[in-house]
Chains A and B, each alone.
Chain A
């Protein structure tokens, strides 16, 4: 009977390992929810302990470092816990001494098991460039003795932030891809979500890991509504919310709840809370803009960025009227912080338009057009400029 049970375990574990191989290529299944309960995660991890495929991958990764590290237990991948090895790998791949692009590439290679060619395509680089980048990163890890370990307690906060930043970067690379682009770019989101999920389960006491996963899911849920048939970006206020993925939203909201209950706020939880405000609104008019403005206000000291302040200005304008938002935008322009960033004059123009100051709005749209990046953005601004010129 024990033999039969072992055989059943073998088969189930093969299925799990096969899924982990296939998902990066074929995309995450329609209902990944089944994977996502804690039970399923633990079951998967337990099975992976005995999974030859996973152990081999981890041995390959662990082979980058000398096996005489005293902190490594017996140094034998089979008996050490899979969870510990994955955690060590993530922190090592994301070590701040490695250049940022190398951290992203190495994470995809070592933790997601993507081939060099797949990574190159995903990150819009040539294969030789990517191969060189990976070789250099592995050399540096070896030559400079970057340690294979989870950082000591006093370093953990800043290093965890670094890991989360790499995963978020990965997600945004995929999220920015428009419909019809290389499928690999779409799969980057799925890969980032999968890695964030692994990190969240490996660090259950780190609410920011949960916050990041929630943020990714809440953004990802909107992907079908973000782009129209012409390939243009559809702004949040115009999106067909019926196209939003409610399963992902529900999961994201649940994770955010669990994170907030730990009562240690942080930037990813705050950004997820903002995304949750949008997710919870039946339509654009229904959105709790006052709360969003307040959340940006709490985010600003944690992420000192003029872009956060600009987003806050937009939220304030929605909550308290365009004149209030305009004051904040003008303060930003005076500071010179976002010079060259097209969304600054574009936002100013938008607020002036809502205040019916059309001639000034037109000037703002013109300024934004000179700085705008994509065709889709230029089309939008040109249209607004035409309207403003007509009115003014």
Chain B
């Protein structure tokens, strides 16, 4: 069962690299075989939003939604079931100071 986890953090809050970088987590989850791929993302100041309306490509600078917490990284997991995905997500350092959304992939 595959899940996307979106690690959402408040960019304005200072967190030390030791607390926030998921190096150990990545190693452990890769070894377990539950993490397939993933990456940290650049901050929203580097984001571009794309829409096509009436045949026109509309661009805007910044994230698609103005929320306090923004997506800071993502990972693709393959787990037994939701309980395992929850366990994996809860061990991500981002869970301690941010919020992690666990979303199943739409696979028929």
Docked complex Cα distance between A145 and B79 (Å): 10
Q: Report A132-186 residues with CB < 8 Å from chain B CB.
A: 143-147, 151-152, 155
Docked complex Cα distance between A269 and B1 (Å): 40
- Cβ A145 vs Cβ B86 within 8 A: no
**Is A337 an interface residue when CB atoms closer than 8 A count as contact?**
no
Once A and B bind, how many residue pairs between them come within 8 Å at the CB atom? 22
Mask of B78-95 contacts with A, CB within 8 angstroms, 1/0: 011111001000000000
**Is A97 an interface residue when CB atoms closer than 8 A count as contact?**
yes
- Cβ A144 vs Cβ B83 within 8 A: no
- Cβ B81 vs Cβ A147 within 8 A: yes
Contacts of B83 in A (CB 8 A): 146-147, 151-152, 155
Give the interface residue-count category, chain B: under 10
Contacts of B104 in A (CB 8 A): 143-145
Q: Which residue of B lies closest to A159 (CB)?
A: B83
Mask of B59-95 contacts with A, CB within 8 angstroms, 1/0: 0000000000000000000011111001000000000
Docked complex Cα distance between A147 and B87 (Å): 13
Q: Which residue of B lies closest to A69 (CB)?
A: B81
Contacts of B1 in A (CB 8 A): 145
Q: Which residue of B lies closest to A154 (CB)?
A: B87
Docked complex Cα distance between A95 and B83 (Å): 10
Partner of A97, one of B79, B80, B82: B82
Contacts of A97 in B (CB 8 A): 82, 86
Docked complex Cα distance between A213 and B83 (Å): 28
Q: How far is the CB of B99 from chain A (nearest CB, A)?
A: 15
Contacts of A155 in B (CB 8 A): 83
Q: How far is the CB of B102 from chain A (nearest CB, A)?
A: 8
Contacts of B81 in A (CB 8 A): 145-147
Contacts of B86 in A (CB 8 A): 97
Q: Report B19-49 residues with CB < 8 Å from chain A CB.
A: none
Contacts of B79 in A (CB 8 A): 145
Q: How far is the CB of B73 from chain A (nearest CB, A)?
A: 21
Docked complex Cα distance between A337 and B28 (Å): 42
Docked complex Cα distance between A143 and B106 (Å): 8
Contacts of A144 in B (CB 8 A): 82, 102, 104
Contacts of A145 in B (CB 8 A): 1, 79, 81-82, 104
Docked complex Cα distance between A147 and B83 (Å): 7
Q: How far is the CB of A234 from chain B (nearest CB, A)?
A: 46
Top 10 nearest A-B pairs (CB, nearest first) are A147-B81, A145-B1, A145-B81, A144-B104, A144-B82, A146-B82, A145-B82, A147-B83, A143-B104, A97-B82
A-side residues, CB < 8 A to B, are 95, 97, 143-147, 151-152, 155
A-B contacts, 11 listed (Cβ < 8 Å): A95-B82, A97-B82, A143-B104, A144-B102, A145-B1, A145-B104, A146-B82, A146-B83, A147-B81, A152-B83, A155-B83
